[in-house]
Structure 1
Amino acid sequence: MSNLDAQQGLDYVFKLVLIGDSAVGKSQLLSRFTRNDFSLVAKATIGVEFQTKTIMIDHKTVKAQVWDTAGQERYRAVTSAYYRGALGAMLVYDITKQQSFEHASRWLKEIRSHADRNIIIMLIGNKCDLGTLRAVSTEDAKQFAQDENLFFMETSALESTNVETAFLMVLSEIYRIVSKKSLMANEELEANNDTRLLKGTDITVPIDQENPAKTSCCLY
């Protein structure tokens, strides 16, 4: 966390990345979460952009910095650098497009190649408001998430269904892990300090060879 973030009264800054094929609704999910906004005129993301939202978790002020990575193949080499430092990832597919779900395994491989191995990942089936056009069953998505040890949720950016819930779930899990590591580090530091205090310092008291009776009788 930067000095500026600390000055703003933030306890944590968590970076998340949104990934997945183009046109699955990543940018709409970002707008819905950060601004509670949805645009019927969607534009393809060029390169990378990010937005932020500050929330409270366990009485701590957390700023979510959410990066929206373009899904087009020609930008993948550019966006791979932005996985660095990410603590969470939202892997998005469109429930009406089977191919976008099939590509999830490829995106997952890319995340795990570029991001921290402990990154928290949620699989998101977006556009659940289009149930009559569904091409990917909830059961198949759940099974994939279970096999890959991912969180899973279906969302609708249009109707604001589960969007905030999904982001908060990932951020809360990141907070749980980060705060636990911080607590363990503090406990280890305190234990090391206590050990150094207990060790003390050896004191060698010389004996007067000419007058052996004059020893350090007062040092108990």
Structure 2
Amino acid sequence: MSDIEDDQFHRKTVKITILGEPFTGKSSLCQRYLSNSPRAPGGTTHGAEVLAGQCLGLRPPVPLHLCDVAGNSLSTGMLRNYLYASDLVLFVYDLTNLQSFEKLNVWIEKVKEIFEQEPKKPLMALFGNKSDLEHQRAVRFSCVKKFASKYLLEHFKGSARTGEMVNYAFTNLIARVLGLPVQSSPVAIPSKSENELELPNSPAQTDGVSTSPLIMNRKTLRKIQRKASSSVCSVQ
């Protein structure tokens, strides 16, 4: 490919359609990515809003159209129009709202149905929003991995409010659409939360307290950790 052809290839306008349930932060995610600033609170999207911008993480910058689709569009006949010519479909869910995650299979099946007869299929991916509210997390990481594996989807988690992982996710997905090398993750592999610790299958007793995965809580975990720490530091 010549330099001129390479430049034209990079400058292809990429259309990204953002889907998901209401109040998952889709508009905030678009605002954060395009302007690197959080969206002012309040307001909902009606129909769909198309925003123009650039992916500055690639050189030369790649022109973008972001189609921010309202959460109630699943039940309307307009979804097909909003998805037209999409290169990338990003499904957004709220990490603190289990229902927003559970409804994703309906969204994905609908999108697959719409593109079933189309020769060109869009790249599809997941984004778990509101990672800044990790203490309120309702969607287990293991469930996300299983779901993403079922549909062969890339998956990310981050925060439109703080900007965590937003640029990285968009840049990598756009690079995949264009067939360019993707960046390695700038962060370590997500560690399991306290609620996702792999504990023995059979209940055990630690200092008189059951460590069964069904009833173990944070207070018990801290107690176990203090005991382990004191054991290491004790004089033999």
Q: Normalized against structure 1, the TM-score is what?
A: 0.71
Q: Please say which structure displays the higher CA radius of gyration.
A: 1
Unaligned regions of 5+ residues in structure 1, if any?
A: 1-7, 178-220
Closer, same or farther in 2 for the Cα pair 1:164/1:16, shift >3 Å?
A: same
Q: Distance in 1 between matches of 2:134 and 2:16?
A: 28
Q: Distance in 1 between matches of 2:18 and 2:45?
A: 11
2:32/2:39 contact within 8 Å kept? no
Report the Cα offset of residue 88 of structure 1: 0.2
- Match of 2:179, SS state, is helix
- Match of 1:53, SS state, is strand
Report the Cα offset of residue 31 of structure 1: 0.2
Letter of the aligned partner of 2:89 in structure 1? A
Match of 1:138 among 141, 148, 151: 141
1:171 aligns with 2:191: no
Closer, same or farther in 2 for the Cα pair 1:10/1:97, shift >3 Å?
A: same
1:30 aligns with 2:56: no
Query: Residues 120-157 of structure 1: CA distance to partner in whole angstroms, max 9, x if unpaired?
Result: 11111110111111110112111111111000000100
- Match of 2:63, SS state, is strand
Closer, same or farther in 2 for the Cα pair 1:129/1:36, shift >3 Å?
A: same
Q: Distance in 2 between matches of 1:36 and 1:61?
A: 16
Q: Distance in 2 between matches of 1:102 and 1:132?
A: 20
- Match of 2:24, SS state, is coil
Q: Distance in 1 between matches of 2:52 and 2:17?
A: 12
1:21/1:103 contact within 8 Å kept? yes
1:120 aligns with 2:123: yes
Q: Distance in 1 between matches of 2:160 and 2:133?
A: 11
Unaligned regions of 5+ residues in structure 2, if any?
A: 1-7, 181-236
1:123/1:150 contact within 8 Å kept? yes
- Match of 2:46, SS state, is coil
1:129 aligns with 2:132: yes
Q: Distance in 1 between matches of 2:133 and 2:40?
A: 15
Q: Distance in 1 between matches of 2:163 and 2:58?
A: 24
Report the Cα offset of residue 58 of structure 1: 6.0
1:151 aligns with 2:160: no
Query: Residues 75-116 of structure 1: CA distance to partner in whole angstroms, max 9, x if unpaired?
Result: 632233111100101100101111100000000011112245
Closer, same or farther in 2 for the Cα pair 1:87/1:74, shift >3 Å?
A: closer
Instruction: Report the equivalent of 2:232.
Output: none
Deviates more, 1:52-61 or 1:140-149: 52-61
How many aligned positions are there? 170
Letter of the aligned partner of 1:88 in structure 2? L
- Identity among equivalent positions (%) equals 26
- Match of 2:44, SS state, is coil
Report the Cα offset of residue 9 of structure 1: 11
Closer, same or farther in 2 for the Cα pair 1:75/1:34, shift >3 Å?
A: farther
1:126/1:154 contact within 8 Å kept? yes
1:70/1:79 contact within 8 Å kept? no
Q: CA RMSD in A?
A: 2.2
Q: Distance in 2 between matches of 1:70 and 1:30?
A: 13
